[in-house]
A and B are shown apart, each in its own frame.
Chain A
Amino acid sequence: MNFELNIMLLQLKELHVSIKGKEIIHGLNLEVKAGEVHAIMGPNGTGKSTLALAIAGKEGYEITAGEVIFNGLVINEMPPEERARLGIFLGFQYPVEIPGVSLTNFMRTAINEVREYRGLPPMPAGEFLKMMEEKKQLVEIQSKLTNRSVNEGFSGGEKKKNEIFQMAMLEPMLAVLDETDSGLDIDALKIVANGVNMLRRPDNATIVITHYQRLLTYIVPDFVHVIYNGKIVRSGGKELALELEEKGYDWIKKELNV
């Protein structure tokens, strides 16, 4: 399906984002095409998570200038649920617990909301359950977890696997994974990475936000961007991640003379 390649999925143009009046992102540019995996790296507190939440449309993350363009559509003002229905998925750094709502019920509600938005009837129960089974295997998530309340009593690793499981269920066009590797042991990391790799298709794209190079051994990016002080200060291929690992972020700071 070559014709789907090179479709521009996400464009960030001179993006400025403020939280409570304080600007965190200062004019950031990024282009993500279908079929690509981008890694965004950088020291703590430079705006990585802010960027992820601004793309997802969280309230309080105000776009003061510039544009977020998804699939040709400017979505600056679009509420988060509509962005989700269009195919933007955010893998949370800290997934919240929702007591009393089973993961199965939660997913079913989400999937049918998305389907309704796209003019499709609700997914038949049989089909839904079959899909659950398939996707559970993908991230080696235990069956009992889907009967439990969303993230309630899940271990750190289970929560992160659950994010990838939900991504698999919702089949987004663009997935933004915010520090999905944090708090994972090596086995869980491999499982999560494997899940992400299995979901790669020529018509979707992934942005992996991470502090460490470690995850990128398993999810090999096409592009690596280094974010510093709310701007992308350097972009390159996967080698850039290795260089960063070797020299540390101080190297970037020195180059930038800060």
Chain B
Amino acid sequence: MPDTNEILDNLTKSEYKYGFVSDIDTETAPVGLDENTIRYISSRKEEPEWMLEYRLKAYRHWLTMKEPEWAHISYPPINYQDIIYYAAPKKKQFTSLDEVDPELLATFDKLGIALEEQKRLTGVAVDAVIDSVSVKTTFQETLAKHGIIFCSFSEAVKNHPDLVKKYMGSVVPYTDNYFAALNSAVFSDGSFCYIPKGVRSPIELSTYFRINAANTGQFERTLIVAEEGGYVSYMEGCTAPMRDENQLHAAVVEIMAMDNAEVKYSTVQNWYPGDKEGKGGIYNFVTKRGLCKGANSKISWTQVETGSAITWKYPSCILMGENSIGEFYSVAVTNNRQQADTGTKMIHIGKNTKSTIISKGISAGFSNNSYRGQVRITARAENARNFSQCDSLLLGDKCGAHTFPYIDVDNRTAIVEHEATTSKISEDQLFYCQQRGIDMEKAISLIVNGYAKEVLNHLPMEFAVEAQKLLSISLEGSVG
């Protein structure tokens, strides 16, 4: 376990620490969205015809759809013609780090992301995506020795078209929802990961997303396929500059696990949350879904959500294979004027399928934090099991915590459990800590980290430390 004291000692001011803008020569698409924009993106990326066709189909479908309104969030209407859908550092393909714009390297240095493989002690392979383009993927050669493909989505379209054609849209079709359709039309880059039969990835894979350019939306797409008996642990992190306007982020993540395969997906989401008055910040509309296709397969989502002005996100599992397992562990923190509507869906189809949901919401300031989850046991899912626990912690009396659980059971053998609690950090708890010499901010951080521990324990070590720091920083200034 990381040492909480040490982490807390390293705390900085409550300023968003990743709010800088890098001066990188950028090429962008014209503002707005029509079929020409999509053709522009596709041609910039030198895509094959089938990819363009897919995008256009998605776009035409998107035009027939309406933005969803059911979530417990409110924001002024988004003008989709005001957004730049493609921004890229001018030089696109890099064969070695020497060719990369030094400013770009400096950016990732500032973010603490090691792109240089000499830092291999960290043992994490990184795909770095800035604005719309993947800049650099590390450790590719090491992984290739095991037959693992880990590259940017664009490279995958070029080099592994059969795999992309086969799996893209098979878990999240472009018809799925408004933001998934938009993403399918304009997605720029993202990561692709393929674990062959019987291979366990020897290192953690990770993608680091960074929005830099102004007025730009980020629409990345991630696809992970684990063949029979494969295993991979995948991490995703993200940051953005502080800007007064809102920026749109609409991503799609698809995971496919075959017989006996296991995928562990961890996210630390730290997009710019906006300022204290709620000005600026990222609108984060994300569709994440995993399909446990094979028997005994397992997909596990762990997320720590601290950033974004608005979070709309429900990482889900479709448990199709017999004995397959879906897990969702989440900590969502909202402070100031942030709004989060997040949770999961567990769809039980196969026999003896199991799912676990542990959700910890923390609200402070004037924020609103909602858990929304669905557990669905279909008629054929004999002996399905679900356990859900949704806890909310309130700091102060101006914030809100909400729980919207939906449970649909169509099979009598199912056992579904749901537990929920709402609590406040009491003055007595704070005074108890203070009386032992611990000041209020540190006391809150100690209590909040304790509250979230059940979830943080599921994060890979590298992320757990980062996540604990983030929790503390996100809540600084929330009491007093």
Interface, chain A (partner B; CB < 8 A)? 56, 58-59, 79-81, 84-85, 89-90, 92, 95-96, 98-101, 105-106, 108-114, 117, 122, 149, 166, 170
Q: How far is the CB of B135 from chain A (nearest CB, A)?
A: 39
Known: A106-B446, A109-B446, A112-B5. A92 touches B436 (CB 8 A): no
Is B434 a contact of A100 with CB atoms below 8 Å? no
B438 at the interface (CB under 8 A from A): yes
Q: How far is the CA of A80 from the CA of B446 in the complex (A)?
A: 17
Q: How far is the CB of B451 from chain A (nearest CB, A)?
A: 5
Q: How far is the CA of A148 from the CA of B433 in the complex (A)?
A: 16
Give the chain A neighbours of B439 by CB distance below 8 A. Answer: 79, 81, 113
Partner of A114, one of B5, B437, B447: B437
Known: A80-B435, A84-B435, A170-B437. A113 touches B442 (CB 8 A): yes
0/1 string, B446-472, CB within 8 A of A gives 1: 110111111000000000000000000
Known: A84-B437, A101-B450. A109 touches B4 (CB 8 A): yes
Known: A101-B446, A105-B4. A96 touches B437 (CB 8 A): no
Partner of B434, one of A81, A99, A112, A117: A81
Is A170 a contact of B436 with CB atoms below 8 Å? yes
Give the chain B neighbours of A92 by CB distance below 8 A. Answer: 432, 435
Give the chain B neighbours of A149 by CB distance below 8 A. Answer: 450
Give the chain B neighbours of A89 by CB distance below 8 A. Answer: 435
Known: A96-B429, A108-B5. A117 touches B437 (CB 8 A): yes
Partner of A56, one of B426, B429, B435, B453: B435
Q: How far is the CA of A98 from the CA of B427 in the complex (A)?
A: 12
The A-B contact count (CB < 8 A) is: 83
Known: A105-B4, A109-B4. A96 touches B435 (CB 8 A): no
Is B453 a contact of A100 with CB atoms below 8 Å? yes
Q: How far is the CB of B433 from chain A (nearest CB, A)?
A: 8
Give the chain A neighbours of B431 by CB distance below 8 A. Answer: 58-59, 80
Is B426 a contact of A122 with CB atoms below 8 Å? no
Give the chain B neighbours of A56 by CB distance below 8 A. Answer: 435
Known: A58-B431, A59-B431, A105-B4. A100 touches B438 (CB 8 A): no
Is A109 a contact of B442 with CB atoms below 8 Å? yes
- CB closest chain-A residue, reference B1: A105
Given A80-B431, A108-B5, output 17 extra A-B contacts at Cβ < 8 Å. Answer: A80-B434, A80-B435, A81-B440, A84-B437, A90-B435, A96-B426, A96-B429, A98-B429, A98-B450, A105-B5, A105-B450, A106-B436, A113-B436, A113-B438, A113-B439, A114-B437, A170-B437
Is B434 a contact of A79 with CB atoms below 8 Å? yes
Q: How far is the CA of A92 from the CA of B427 in the complex (A)?
A: 14
Give the chain A neighbours of B23 by CB distance below 8 A. Answer: none
Partner of A109, one of B5, B435, B454: B5
B397 at the interface (CB under 8 A from A): no
Give the chain B neighbours of A170 by CB distance below 8 A. Answer: 436-437
Give the chain A neighbours of B453 by CB distance below 8 A. Answer: 100
Give the chain A neighbours of B442 by CB distance below 8 A. Answer: 109, 113
- A-B contacts, 21 of them at CB < 8 A, read A58-B431, A80-B431, A80-B434, A80-B435, A81-B434, A84-B434, A84-B436, A90-B435, A92-B432, A98-B433, A100-B447, A100-B452, A101-B447, A105-B446, A110-B436, A112-B5, A113-B436, A113-B437, A113-B439, A122-B6, A122-B9
Q: How far is the CA of A237 from the CA of B9 in the complex (A)?
A: 47
Q: How far is the CB of A105 from chain B (nearest CB, A)?
A: 6
Give the chain B neighbours of A114 by CB distance below 8 A. Answer: 437
B428 at the interface (CB under 8 A from A): yes
0/1 string, B272-315, CB within 8 A of A gives 1: 00000000000000000000000000000000000000000000
- CB closest chain-A residue, reference B426: A96
- CB closest chain-B residue, reference A166: B436
0/1 string, B48-63, CB within 8 A of A gives 1: 0000000000000000
